[in-house]
Amino acid sequence: MSQQNTAPRIDLVSDTATRPTPGMRMAMAEAQVGDEQRGEDPSVNALVERSAALLGKEAALFLPSGTMCNQIAIAVHCRPGDEIIAAANAHILGTESAGAAVFAGSFIRAIDAPRGIFGAEDVAAAIRYKSVKSPRSRLVSVENTSNGGGGSVWPHEVLRAVAAEARAQGLAAHMDGARLLNAAIASGVSTRDLADGFESVWIDLSKGLGCPVGGVLAGSREFIAEANVWKHRFGGAMRQAGIIAAAGLYALDHHVERLAEDHANARLFASLIADIPGLGVDPANVETNMVFMDTSGTGLDPAEISRRLLERGVRIGAWDRTSMRAVTHLDIDEAGVREAAASLRALLAS
């Protein structure tokens, strides 16, 4: 892995680049703590209660990462030989070290969905006939917002239809809500309503919410009891975790409404770079805090563009061989976006 002594001045590599704010650090310093594994940490208890209410579920579990939220949910829902239906560009498929195969012995049937969004009819078409020779279709997983889909927001009625189809066919429905709060702010629909009909759902605290660590997984009491067994099994049970849970409580108070600023900054960035020759950017595709750029017309490798931008103090990551992704967040203001756009323009013009 490459190491850097100092972070780039303007870091658009991901919304995980946020640093805890002074207010958040203060809340962490003052947090009440106890032994989390014993259920005795008041800050963790407050965070899970609040998250369960936010997501409209009976119970919730504090976990060290979003990946663990996904993997534990999959392990609770699926048994070896089961099949999961998800978008081909889903995080659980391409970005979790094949955890579904390793931990749950399950594999993923990929639906071709460039914006990361598929319909009830796609679910129906992907479900296997019951046969001794077929994998058992067991779980439908949606990602809202869809990261690989460009930060796209699932229309509420599509979510409802997908969850209803899963239920009708005896499958469970799971929502990777790493950026569910971005979806809620962008759509004006509450997280509770967006998660309705899904057996499991989680939010990441360490993305746009700006916390250093953590995710919260929610579901029925029974689901969460099972998930808690997996939490211990994975070694994810903690001790005085209130120090980091306090950051989550602080973020839910102070960092949710402001996600609208990140969305406005992403739209601004897209509009500022839309006419750069060779760069493919469609501002109409910017629904939340991500801007994807098709670099094929520049004649340069995205990794090369990324490296040269870094020399100018701006970090935008290569997403794949022909595209780059910029993500706005708490530590990026309008001036930063303007400077990043100007740097990209200067670089590609030279």
Which residues are near ligand PLP by CB under 6 A? 65-67, 70, 91, 143, 147, 176, 178, 204, 206, 215
Q: Of 138, 156, 108, give the one whose Cα is nearest residue 200.
A: 138
3-state SS assignment for residue 166: helix
Instruction: For ligand PLP, give the closer residue by CB, 64 or 343.
Output: 64
Nearest residue to ligand PLP, scored by beta-carbon proximity: 66
> Cβ 119 to ligand PLP, closest distance in Å?
19
Instruction: For ligand PLP, give the closer residue by CB, 290 or 310.
Output: 290
> Cβ 147 to ligand PLP, closest distance in Å?
4
Q: Residue holding tokens 């609040």? A: 50
> Cβ 299 to ligand PLP, closest distance in Å?
30
3-state SS assignment for residue 74: helix
- Ranges of H-type helices in 62-135: 66-77, 91-94, 99-103, 120-126
**Phi and psi for 173 in degrees, rounded to 5?**
-120, 130
Q: Is the Cβ–Cβ distance between 326 and 316 less than 8 Å?
A: yes
Residue 173 exposed, middle or buried by CB count within 10 Å (0-12, 13-18, 19+): buried
Instruction: For ligand PLP, give the closer residue by CB, 72 or 341.
Output: 72
**Tokens in use for 231?**
């939490």
Instruction: For ligand PLP, give the closer residue by CB, 66 or 248.
Output: 66
- Cα separation of 213 and 205, whole Å? 7
Instruction: For ligand PLP, give the closer residue by CB, 209 or 348.
Output: 209
> Cβ 349 to ligand PLP, closest distance in Å?
32
Q: Of 250, 156, 251, give the one whose Cα is nearest residue 208.
A: 251
> Cβ 229 to ligand PLP, closest distance in Å?
20
> Cβ 235 to ligand PLP, closest distance in Å?
15
Instruction: For ligand PLP, give the closer residue by CB, 147 or 228.
Output: 147
- Cα separation of 122 and 132, whole Å? 23
- Cα-based torsion angle of the residue sequence 222, 224, 229, 233 in order, rounded to the nearest 10 degrees: 150
> Cβ 106 to ligand PLP, closest distance in Å?
17
> Cβ 131 to ligand PLP, closest distance in Å?
32
Instruction: For ligand PLP, give the closer residue by CB, 210 or 215.
Output: 215
Instruction: For ligand PLP, give the closer residue by CB, 199 or 272.
Output: 199
Residue 107, H or E segment: strand 107-111
**Phi and psi for 156 in degrees, rounded to 5?**
-60, -40
- Cα separation of 178 and 46, whole Å? 20
Q: Is the Cβ–Cβ distance between 124 and 165 less than 8 Å?
A: yes
